[in-house]
Structure 1
Amino acid sequence: TLVVADEGTWTVNATTGAITFTPESGFTGDPTPITYTGEDVQGNVSNPATVTLNTNPVASDDTDSYTPTVAKTVDVLANDTAGDKIVAATVKITTAGAAADGKTLVVADEGTWTVNATTGAITFTPESGFTGDPTPITYTGEDAQGNVSNPATVTLSHTTPTYALISSFKAYVNGDKQTVLEWKTDSEVGTIGFLLERLNEQSGEYESVTQDMLPGMLTPPHGGTYRFVDKAAISGKSYTYRVIEVAVNSEGTISGPYTVQAKQQLPVNQAMFADGPEGFTLAQERLSTKQVQRVAVREQAEQSFSAQVKKKTGKVLRIPVSKTGLVSLTADQIVAASGLKKQQIVQNLKAKKCLVTLQGKRIPTLFASEGGALWFYGQAPARNDIGQNIYRLEIGMQGSVMKVNPQSDNDSGHIYSEQSFADRVKAEENHLPFHLYINKPVKDFWAWEYLLASGKDFTVTHSLAAPNMSGSGSAAVAVNLVNISSRNLGTSAPYKVTIFLNGTDIGGAETTATGDWQIRKEVPVSLLRESGNEVKIVSQLNSGVSYSLIYLESIELEYLRKYQAVQGELTFKSGHSNQVTVEGFSSDTVLALDVTNPDKPVRMRPTIRQTESGSYAVMVQTKPNSSYFITEKTAATVSQTMTVDTPSQLRSGKNRADYLLIAPLHLIDSAKRLAERRQSQGLTSMVVDIQDVQDEFSYGLAAPEAVHDFLAYVHQKWEQAPRYVVLVGDGSYDYRNHLGYGWPLIPSVLVATPEGFFPSDNALADVVGNDGLPEFAVGRIPVFDKAEFEQYIDKVISYEQSVHNGVQKIAVVNDKTDKAAGDFKASANLVAGLMPEQVAVTRLDVDTLGYSAAADQIKTAMQQGVGILHYIGHSSLIGLGKSNSLLSASKIDTMNPVGPAMLMVSMSCSAASFGYPAMNSIGESAVLRAEGGAVGFFGATGLSLNPLADIVTEGFYRSLFKPVSPRVGDAVLESKRHYLQVKQGRDAYTLDIYNLLGDPAVQMPTHQ
């Protein structure tokens, strides 16, 4: 006998001489070789011989989810941990029909499987139009000794998330005695449009009512109202319809059947407008009274924030700049912003002791000799997700004085008035966020409008001016687009666009690629006009293409332009000229700058002459292909309200905290109250200003990644990093306030998923490894103002003081069975099975109860009180259940009476979103309700797949009911560790979209 530690035991059979190796439990490698000897009958001993065992490699089956129409790569070796290691280069597909080398398999009408020879990963690339589950395949691999593994199976399947939720479907009679069908949606995420079908009672088949697709909202995610005239339907007769959603990735849901009878008169809806086929109208869902009130609360909160900021005094000022141009700051303005004495400001200006910086770079500055003002060249932010550049003015620090061009003035007196330069005029508006419609990065997620060609061309037209045309040289039109989605059953390119300029066809282009797309066409300069240049963009359909969706971002005109000032200034490029004269100034007091390097502008020495018309012409010596800026508006400024920047200690390595709150200034006092609560529970607590975070880690910019970079520093450098991080303040993906609802208090980041980009706080807290697993338990309290925050704190304190013997009840709600979306009942069984014996489980099965009865029982449970309300099924941004029929944000807002607060968990789509600034998700409504509702809401900010949500669920409840009193954030964090362990890094986006609304340190009851 030989026992080898950590490997196993070798034994010799005394009868046969056979040697057996018995491995220890858990040992899967090759045992250390042993030697043996034997003797003959005369007792002569043999030479030593070696026994070596090589363990065959073991391949494990792989089951994964995928998004139809999108290639999916499976790291098949990641779970092949038993036996000898499989060499990646030896992986072969063994399914019949594979290529001779086993590296490729083409499955007719499905797609192609390929093996990466370097990594061993296997990729399935679906054919165009294939949206089903591919036939499973098998593979083998070999170890370094050439031993072949067993065959293992790779299975891919998809679960359809919910895109549009139809809340109602009705029929009315219009003034022409026609049948008008009306349906409403509560949620549209990735919805492109709809098809209507009517049941043929004789054949039993559904037939198309609409020849072409009816466009969806294609804007916000919360849906709208649609009407379509069914000319073939007879008023008063009963018909059965269904609505087929067309969504990105060729997916969508089928809603219905709806049996309706057009008897009632069509209600008047002034918001309806025509868009698409004849007889089709639509209207965006209006904001509720509560939502309108909250917009007002946001405005009041911004005023409160501004008032508190103005109270600060100090020697460092923040100067926001959102437009490129001259920044002019007077001594009086600096005094008003800093709170310092005017004498001190003037003295520092005279001594040029005012340092201007941008993102750490010194910015050249001009100073008035008498100490009355300073000037510098400001730039708009280059990034699309930042609304303002933040310049810093440090009073008392030696400034960087702007250099003056050493070239001498040209005193010839000759005015060059016929010169021209190549200019580009850009027209752009931002009305439509389309991050829900694309799953690949693009330059900007905001568009001007959409082009949806379905059955016929789709045209948009815009006008641009081309001021001060020279009338010579060449010209061009550039159209910037983003290709989103198409349905193509042919071989031609699905995206095709033709452009017209002032009625003339100037050509077009076509492509198969999604994402950013620029079409640029050169045109005769004679086609351009000084103003009113009409650019018509036509989206067309090639043969076999049923629809294409394209977003328009901007239009540009390129032409040669006269050197003529517009409203007292001009920015231009010199081309090949070494001297340029700019006409059209009303004053001889001008400032000329060389801005070829905009971070280091140089002051020019211009020659100024008055023309016969009485205006002034400015001549400057130039260098070829350089950029210049001339302005007479030296008293105007492109900067906005200055505020004081107070220093912080966030980079001190001596900082310590168990519990960290990040809040805007006007919520700091309330945040301190919550911190004191946690401090009394033994958690070392700290409150920091989001402005300090941005000042220290993004140069004052309201960059979405500032919090992430701060937390990365905290995790690495602080003496004690926190367990819990609370983001106090509403988040939004409208970083530049395009929609007009206000700036986000704490910006959220958008993460990529197969179904689009969604907001995520989890990504902010994932500071090591970028694996989806956060290093902190993070939660967001999505409040606007102090009153909302104080109400939430009161609710948390009441909740924690009222629980003594643990969560006694959980209501588990599962939506009606939908095979395409997942087995909701099985998921509910999983939750029930994870409950401790002392927790009473109430099952609310919509299949059994129906929507109405289930909704009533949910309301009763909330009014009487349950520890946890857990939901599985369809949901939208604002409600649970198909058509939001089980529970909605508005029902939570208006519920009366209401019981004690609870923990709410929603393993469904979008219910925990906090990114849309115009309205609250159901999760936000539950958390923000002053009484009752939820102390915490754990759910998805985007589209969730039910099988993946089950994994999150299991990890969450296994942690939540541990004997030691947990906090809800601990369970959230554990749910993600469990998911990562099960999925081995696959579908990691699920970790990012599942987020906690509420305080992660909320104490949960113990269960001994």
Structure 2
Amino acid sequence: MRRIAIVALIFALFCSLAPVTSSISVRAQGSDPYASIGLAHAADVRVAASPSGVLIEWRTSFELDNLGFNIYRDDNGAQILVNPSIIAGSVLRQGTPLDSGYEYQWFDAGGTGYSRYYLEEIRLNERNILLGPFTSIWSVNLPKIRQAKLITEVAAPANVSAEAEGPAGVFDRAAPTPANIQDQWAIAAQPGLKIGIKQNGWYRVTQSEMAAAGFDVSGDVRNLRLFVDAREVPIEGSRSSGQLGAADFIEFYGVGLDTPTTDTHVYYLINGSQPGLRIPVFGELHTEAGSPTAAPPAAIMPVRSSSNENRHANLIRKRNHAIASPNSAGGFLYEVQRKERFLYFSSLLNGAAENFFGDVIAAPITKTLNVNGLQTGSQATAQLRIGLQGASNQTHAVNILLNDVMIGSLTFEPLAYSEQTFNIAPSQLREGGNDIKFVKTSVGDLVLFSYARLTFPRIYRVENDTLSFTLRSTQSATIDGFTTTNLRVLDISDPNAPQEVHTIVSTGGSGYAITVPSSGAKSKVARTLLAQPAESFLHPASISFNQPSALNQSNNAADLLIISHRNFMSLPNLAALVSQRQSQGFTVRILDIEDVFDEFSYGSHTPQALIDFLSRARSTWTKAPSYLLLLGDASYDPRNYSGAGNSDLVPTKLIDIGGPGTSSALETASDDALADFDSDGIPEIAIGRLPVRTAAEANLVLSKIVNFSPANVPQTAVMVADTQGSYYWNFEASNEQLINLLPANMQSNAQRVYRRLEPSDSATRADIINKFNQGTALVNYSGHGNVDVWTGAPIFNNSDAMALTNGNHLPLVVVMDCLNGYFVAPNLDCIGESLLKAPNGGSVASFVSSGLTIPDGQHAMGQRLFQLLYGSQPIMLGDATRQAKLATTDLDVRRTWILLGDPTLKIR
């Protein structure tokens, strides 16, 4: 039996969600408005008793950082934990598409009609929350039971929990420093082929793949040049001159990328004006790489065959004269790593580092690393390196066991990230699977698994005909276990300058073997090599055409920039919007987000490219942009760890708000941060976003904007307010102050929907929907909220928003609560998104928050917004929202309020 600590909390906080069940006991924590900003708090808890036991069902709104739940049964004062381990919450179900929130069921065979129940919510970063007691109703026949999964039953998704391996140091190797950005601009300005690489290895791209992507394959292959990070890398080809034929190809060594926003390294193939680099034989020098600047191509030379077979034959002849060094290496250090990324820890404030981790160490967990080719008897020291992330506000302590033997422990500060290396004897390892067990030592402690990396001595023997290995320059090595004599060995010590290596092929103990001679040069740095069959190659993750662009040039000009995902650029309603704005005097430019990546991040998917581009455009363009419309959704999961799909079409900037370990701590979206060049929370460009994922959604939302006319909309205002309860802020009074800032005709026609004055929450909901559907120019809500609801009841949710039928009577919706603008969740639309995407009504725009803040700064901003919108002269939405933020000094309010709509739209 486990004792329960009743957690004191306030449900009536500005951003919290008050459960609808009346029997929940609540204790106040004091006057601190940030004391308990809640997000998940279970609502609509139902308990049904039957002759066979008791069924507990509960529903939550959208949850952030909800690890799961415990259920306690109270039998005559004895409180018993019902579930054997934590019931898995939202952080373990992030790939599940949602219409609104989550539902759970748990059946307790030991319960009776006299049992009472408590529901404990377990949250990353924060104190647990206890709800109850709940009493049961009698039900002879229970509904079909879908028992919720326990945390111990939720396995890491296969696509984000995998092993990687390579020679020692491969995972710590620093990314190559990109060349001068001007060189990348020259590459981006030329038509070319973009080749996406996700893992290190030898790649082949065929002529048919090039042609299918739109690349010109009629040039002389001598002038084919390949670049990555604006640096030229050498290639091999199936011919050395003339045009590529249908059976031809190029090959090269590619290197993957691992950043918080992408796993794809982009290589650019161009038809140059001079011969490109080719992979030399070890000891030969590259010719000097030329500038990537475009120029007329050289004349095409007659076709001269130089097949891989001929090249291989020449290499075999040279290998026969290669001499092995008498100083033969017996083994080398090798690494195998398991890294998991599927659990999103949204309240972790860790700057630019990613907030995704692996399994929760709430109960003991085991990770297995596979060791192949273990060099037994080696005198080298093996090492195990562990990375863990603290997820609770207490000192963390985790014991580490390797193959059931304790090797040490990690002890670290609350909410900190910790890495530690343990030295181990090779004799502690075994060929095949090696089990690493993690056992927490403190009750209530929560720790997240990040990675485990094992470094061990390995013999020179291949697995599956391939081996990447290291070798001192003065040593030779014989690698056994190949099934073919047609082999390729590359020196990849510099991955951007690989070289072919002469080897000696012989019959080995298990198939064929190669002997790699010493390099002949004395160096303290070991060489890194790759041995594999000559006809073994990888396929690129993506192949696409590079449309030339020159966004960096100062002769560009625009008042309104529209940066779009490529899928939406040819939509008729986008063309209509551009034409409409041009007729109003705007200079408009539509840009492909891929062009921004090409020029400002060497092709990598990252919001930093947008920041750097907008800064340059604002400071150097002939006409600097004043307005920016982002056409496409964004996501806190740009690498699709959650499996919900790729929705990071036009990225936003993820920022940290609140204080570490507090209820307001959150990583969230800030579009304004993309153009906030002086970091004061006010963008230098007025920004709006249409967070659409499909062409159909984009066309619908664009049509609302193009066809919007204030004359079609009744000039009334609907003012909705939550109940104050014990909270320090009076939402009704806030609304009354805002009503006084409306024009006289709108003041007299203002329609109030105050939850306190309604007969029930269901009546409040019906009143809000009805007034939306009647048509109004403005809807304002002040109160508590979450991503997909107003209040915890709720009195309005995103499903209600999608079902609105107000036609073309589209209002501006202004919301003074939390998270209604949290548009970056990959599996759920926020209310702001749903209002825009509603097919038969909704809104033309909304001004909503992606963060957790308190009313003081919100209300100051809201008052200024109303003054600007309803002043003597009509004003564009982007100007009004940008200037309104100057009225508050709350930096988090400034950075997290998002305009979901067109910044050049006028509502009157």
Could you state the TM-score of these two structures normalised by the residue count of structure 2?
0.80
Select which of 103, 124, 146 maps to 1:225.
Answer: 103
The 2-side partners of 1:238 and 1:521 are apart by 49
1:88-147 CA distances to partner (integer Å, 9 max, x unpaired)?
A: xxxxxxxxxxxxxxxxxxxxxxxxxxxxxxxxxxxxxxxxxxx9779xxxxxxxxxxxxx
**Partner secondary structure for residue 705 of structure 1:** helix
Partner of residue 863, structure 2: 954
Q: In the alignment, is the contact (CA less than 8 A) between 1:415 and 1:619 conserved in 2?
A: no
In the alignment, does 2:368 pair up with 1:463? yes
Instruction: Tell me the equivalent position of 1:590.
Output: 487
The equivalent residue for 1:521 is 422
CA distance in 2, matches of 1:643, 1:338: 8
2:334 to 423, 429, 449: 423
**Correspondence for 1:999 among 898, 902, 908:** 902
The 1:261/1:271 distance shift into structure 2, 3 A limit, reads closer
User: Could you say what secondary structure the match of 1:963 adopts?
Assistant: coil
CA distance in 1, matches of 2:191, 2:742: 58
Pairing 1:647-658 to 2, within 5 Å after superposition:
647-658=548-559
Pair 1:133–1:186, CA change in 2 (3 A): closer
Please give the secondary structure, in 2, of the residue aligned with 1:328.
strand
Amino acid at match of 2:569: I
Maintained 8 Å contact 1:163/1:253: no
Question: Is residue 191 of structure 2 the alignment partner of residue 318 of structure 1?
Answer: no
Residue 407 of structure 2 is aligned with which of 489, 501, 506?
506
Deviations 1:962-981 (A, max 9, x none): 221112222211121222xx
Cα 1:325–1:198, aligned 2, differ >3 Å: closer, same or farther?
closer
In structure 1, runs of 5+ residues without a counterpart are 1-67, 69-130, 135-155, 285-311, 453-457, 489-493
Structure 2: distance between partners of 1:836 and 1:661: 33
1:816, distance to aligned residue in structure 2 (A): 2.6
- Residues 818 and 705 (structure 1 numbering): CA distance in 2 closer, same or farther, change over 3 Å? farther
- Paired with 1:821 and 1:688, the residues of 2 have a C-alpha distance of 47
1:185 paired residue number: 60
- Contact 1:380–1:389 (8 Å) recurs in 2: yes
Structure-1 residue corresponding to 2:225: 355
Letter paired with 1:585: F
Offset at residue 484 of structure 1 (A): 2.1
Which amino acid in 1 is paired with 2:65?
G
Check whether the contact 2:382–2:426 (CA below 8 A) recurs between aligned residues. Answer: yes
Q: Report how far residue 548 of structure 1 moved.
A: 1.8
1:897–1:870 distance in 2 versus 1, CA, 3 Å: closer
For 1:909 and 1:665, how far apart are their aligned partners in 2?
A: 32
1:375 corresponds in structure 2 to: 251
1:26 aligned partner: none
Does structure 2 conserve the Cα–Cα contact (< 8 Å) formed by 1:421 and 1:575?
Answer: no
Task: Give the structure 2 partner of residue 18 of structure 1.
Answer: none
Cα deviation, residue 861, structure 1: 0.7
Rounded Cα–Cα distance in structure 1 between residues aligned with 2:75 and 2:778: 46
Separation in 1, partners of 2:823, 2:540: 30
Q: Residues of 2 paired with 1:643 and 1:283: CA distance?
A: 35
Give the alignment's Cα RMSD to 1 decimal: 3.3
1:781 Cα deviation from its structure 2 partner = 0.8
Q: In the alignment, is the contact (CA less than 8 A) between 1:960 and 1:971 conserved in 2? A: yes
Match of 1:752 among 650, 656, 661: 656
Q: Give, as a single letter, the amino acid of the residue that structure 2 aligns with 1:465.
A: N
**Residue in 2 that maps onto 1:392:** 268
| Contact 1:464 1:534 (C-alpha < 8 Å) held by counterparts | yes
1:271-282 aligned within 5 A: 272-275=148-151
Kept after mapping to 2: 8 A contact 1:697/1:710: yes
1:264–1:814: structure 2 CA closer, same or farther, 3 Å change rule? farther
Aligned partner of 1:825 in structure 2 is 732
Contact 2:560 2:587 in 1 (8 A): yes
TM-fit CA distance, 1:378: 0.9
- Measured in 2, the distance between the counterparts of 1:969 and 1:451 equals 46
Shift of 1:391: 0.8
1:899 deviates by 6.8
- Contact 1:190/1:756 (<8 A) preserved: no
Report deviation, 1:829.
3.1
Q: How many percent of aligned residue pairs carry the same amino acid?
A: 24
With over 3 angstroms needed to count, the CA separation of the structure-2 counterparts of 1:637 and 1:228, relative to structure 1, is closer
Structure 2 counterpart SS, 1:169: strand
Matches within 5 A, 1:145-184: 158=34, 160-173=36-49, 177-184=52-59
Contact 2:782 2:815 in 1 (8 A): yes
Equivalent residue, structure 2, for 1:532? 433
Secondary structure at the counterpart of residue 764 of structure 1: helix
Distance 1:225 1:232 in 2: 22
Under a length normalisation based on structure 1, what TM-score does the superposition of the two structures give? 0.72
Distance across 2 between alignment mates of 1:919 and 1:198: 33
Distance 1:685 1:550, change over 3 A: same
Equivalent residue letter for 1:187: F
Measured at CA, do residues 271 and 708 of structure 1 come closer, stay the same or move farther in structure 2, by a change above 3 Å?
Answer: farther
- Partner-residue secondary structure (3-state), 1:164: coil
Give, in whole Å, the separation in 2 of the partners of 1:170 and 1:899: 40
String of CA shifts for 1:643-664, please: whole Å, max 9, x gaps: 1112123123222222111112
Whole-angstrom CA distance in 1 between matches of 2:467 and 2:256:
16
For 1:905, the equivalent position in structure 2 comes to 814
**1:571 match:** 468
Is the 1:225–1:283 Cα contact (8 Å) retained in structure 2?
no
Note if 1:401 corresponds to 2:278: yes
Asked if 1 retains the 8 angstrom alpha-carbon contact of 2:65 and 2:90, the reply is no
Q: What is the CA–CA distance in structure 2 between the aligned matches of 1:210 and 1:218, rounded to whole Å?
A: 22
**Letter aligned with residue 695 of structure 1:** D
- The aligned residue for residue 62 of structure 1 is none
Equivalent in 646, 659, 665 of residue 742 of structure 1: 646
Aligned pair partner of 2:700 in 791, 796, 800: 791
Q: Which residue of 2 aligns with 1:45?
A: none
- Cα-to-partner distance string for 1:217-264 (whole Å, 9 max, x where unaligned): 3346775334456788641x585x665645455457675675643436
Amino acid at match of 1:841: A
1:607: how far off? 2.5
Deviations 1:298-338 (A, max 9, x none): xxxxxxxxxxxxxx998411111111111222334333333
User: 2:784 corresponds to which residue?
Assistant: 874
Q: 2:388 touches 2:450 (CA, 8 Å); kept in 1? A: yes
Please show how residues 203-242 of structure 1 align to structure 2 within 5 Å.
216-219=89-92, 223-227=101-105, 234-235=112-113, 237=114
Residues 638 and 471 (structure 1 numbering): CA distance in 2 closer, same or farther, change over 3 Å? Answer: farther
Aligned to 2:305: none
Among 767, 770, 778, the residue aligned to 2:679: 770
Q: Distance in 1 between matches of 2:722 and 2:226?
A: 59
Query: Displacement, 1:448?
Result: 2.0
SS in structure 2 of the partner of residue 882 of structure 1: coil
2: distance between equivalents of 1:812 and 1:952?
17
- Give the superposition deviation at 1:897: 7.0
Q: For residues 495 and 827 of structure 1, do their structure 2 counterparts lie closer, same or farther at Cα, with a shift above 3 Å needed?
A: same
SS of the residue 2:90 aligns to: coil
C-alpha distance in 2 between matches for 1:675 and 1:929: 23
1:907 alignment partner AA: M
Question: How far apart in 2 are the matches of 1:442 and 1:208?
Answer: 43
SS at match of 1:559: strand
Are positions 1:450 and 2:360 aligned together?
yes
Q: Report what 2:622 is aligned to.
A: 719
The structure with more radius of gyration? 1
Q: 2:715 aligns with which of 808, 813, 816?
A: 808
Name the counterpart of 2:313. none
- Count of equivalent residues: 786
Q: Deviations over 1:278-301 (max 9, x none)?
A: xxx9999xxxxxxxxxxxxxxxxx
String of CA shifts for 1:413-460, please: whole Å, max 9, x gaps: 7999972110110112322122x13122374322221123xxxxx111
Aligned pairs for 1:134-145 within 5 A? none
CA distance in 1, matches of 2:448, 2:776: 46
Structure 2 residue 512 is matched with structure 1 residue 636? no
Partner AA of 2:823 in structure 1: F
**1:832 offset after TM fit, Å?**
2.5
CA distance in 2, matches of 1:649, 1:628: 39
Whole-Å Cα distance in 1 between the matches of residues 211 and 339 of structure 2?
37
Q: Give the CA deviation at 1:890.
A: 1.7
**Does 2:448 match 1:551?**
yes
Going from structure 1 to structure 2, the CA distance change for 1:628 and 1:597 (only over 3 Å counts) comes to: same
Q: Which amino acid aligns with 1:876?
A: N
